[in-house]
Structure 1
Amino acid sequence: MHKFDTIRPFYDSEVNGTLCKIAHHPMMKALMSFTFPDQKEEQWIDQLKKTHSIRDFQANFIYNALQKVLEKSSDGLTTSGFEKLEKHEPYLFISNHRDIILDTSLLNVCLMDHGLVMTASAIGDNLVKKSFIYDLSKLNRNFLVQRGLPPRELLQSSKLMSEYIGQLLFHENRSVWIAQREGRTKDGNDATHPGVLKMLSMASDEANLMDYFKKLKIVPVSISYEYDPTDALKMPQLKAEANDEIYIKDKNEDFVTLLSGIMGQKKRIHIHVGEVLDTEIDAIAAEFDNSNKQIQALAQAIDDSILNTYKLWPTNYIAYDLLHNTTTYAHLYTDKEKSLFERRLEIRIDENNPVELQGFLAMYANPVINKSRYQDAHKS
């Protein structure tokens, strides 16, 4: 299986050596003292050095770290839909994407809590430039999406990733998480990019493309945060786009966003896993015989599932009313919730900059608009 070495996570045989290597790294010390504040350093180091598999590392260390993150930076995580999934069954989770690390990490917490197969998860190689982060991502069963390649190399890289996802699902009995589009959603509009589905289809050996997608057992996932901990950090890019400028990231921007996402205030979080897209895929196969149209219809089916099950919070309704200067949804939030949200606006952005104000409010309001459109379209 050497063909996947450039993108795969660690094998279990590589876990212990890596943990011994990074046990004394300052960032590991910070992570462990945050996770186990009552333990002496030698205790967790000793425990780390006895760890020989990704599952043990995730179950004994990362799971606890995430519980601490939830305790310190949220008002709790709720879930729905997990009871419909089969134990020991691998799925391809295609999710809307809000936070670099937490979206997939929290999904894995939920899968573990429900006794389900945890995921190998796609992560952009631009996010793991620091060697410690690179090692930690591979210890968490992340596989690399190679970014910024020229067209020919991009095609080869996409094919390799497609084959690797097939290898995980069909031969290793491992679930896979992938975002519905490249990069996180900055404006609150969750839409599946057909390019992601085209990449997945590259490994197909089925005469009918839809038969292959059916084999993948696609489960759409919607994740929503009451407060987006990186909302203000998304403003510079939205401003550049509004001015038709090319946005260039600062050197450490991804790393700052990663840390802010983990430790920033999120209030409530909800994750819903949909049902396996099965009858939907049959219907697409029956309606279209053109593969491009099939892929567009499948992207729409994923979007519909995510929109339909996306949990809206008071912050979404407040932003909608502020953006449109209405009281349409005033019955769905309290005065206190509104004043807290307005205070967040004051602190985090320049309210006198119309592009910034509009962008910030739209990020929270767009899920309300999109869900409402979806519901209107599906009223019978």
Structure 2
Amino acid sequence: MADLQNDLRPSATAGDLDDLAEPYPDDGVITAESYEPVSDPDDAPMVRAHAILAAHPVADGYNGLPWALKRLSYYDLELGEGTVGTDVPRLRGGHVGALFWSLHLPEGFDGDRAVGATLEQLDLAKTVARTCDDGLRLAATAGQVADARNCGRVAVLLGPAGAPAIGDSLGILRQLHLLGLRALTLTGVSWASEAGLTRFGEEVVREMNRLGVIADLSGASAQTIRRVLSLSRAPVLCSRSAARAIRPHPVNLPDELLAELGAAKGLCLVPLTAEQTGPSVRDVADHLDHIRAVAGARCVGLAGTYDAGSAHPQELGDISCYPRLIAELLRRGWEEADVALLTWGNVQRLLRGTDFTARAARQRRAPSPAKISELDG
């Protein structure tokens, strides 16, 4: 127990990785200096958008397909499925190279029910991906995402799941990770609340760093966000947050938190939903412009939120519509290097940083034996 108490001191776990030369390696990350523009002799924004996306596809950070498919008795994602917004033809039409499949549950799921429902979604997601192996491939690391793309497949990463899915147990977190869970949203539980992280919540974040599970902070309180930013040695994610300065939605982030997220090398994925970003493609672009200006080009990405029960802006009705958004950004003068970071490079950096931190942490830290009853009781 003494070892555990030492681990819980803020200076202890934080310092373990500080002696490493480069905690967030940037090898292969696209920069303005290294990016070679795609030839576009016609200089038409849509033509340029397709050309850029062919080289640097979209890594979509939030897609609700697993839960949407639970309602269907039959579907065919390979040939096309009109009852959902995501299928293989539309993924290819939108130049999507990777996407996170959300394992979030409807409100009211908690305890054993949340754990069981999350396991069922994991099982369904794996079954769907394996059934559609001509178009989809399961991935858990940055290398596997790149391999899937090189093989002409769309990489599928599992998560985020809601924090109730771990049932206040680090053992369940470890088992979900073994089953493929890649991200966990830190809301809806006693140990990550409006008051911030409890001692057990801090231990959850440390264990996530050790395993390689990304901390998703969309919807978390400002206190929780700031504590995770100071505690986590891996980059963090806001899987579906836009700019509150433009649209005052509670899940959107104020400028001060966006700036802190950018300083911590985190990533804010802007959702393509009318409720959070506005009713038009221009509104979405306004959020992307704002976040890039406040937090930096390396802090912004895309979250389609397709098949998650949300209404989408005009011209962005399904996952094939990404070229329309990229064309709008090009009309606004976005450099091609920044577009490439937005669509692909920033998520790859996040995944590499998470993998790097996990490998280093596992050399220094054994699986945590912490229990919520001991730390928060």
TM-score if structure 1 supplies the norm length?
Answer: 0.28
The structure, 1 or 2, with the larger RCO (C-alpha pairs under 8 Å, 6+ apart) is 2
Structure with bigger gyration radius: 1
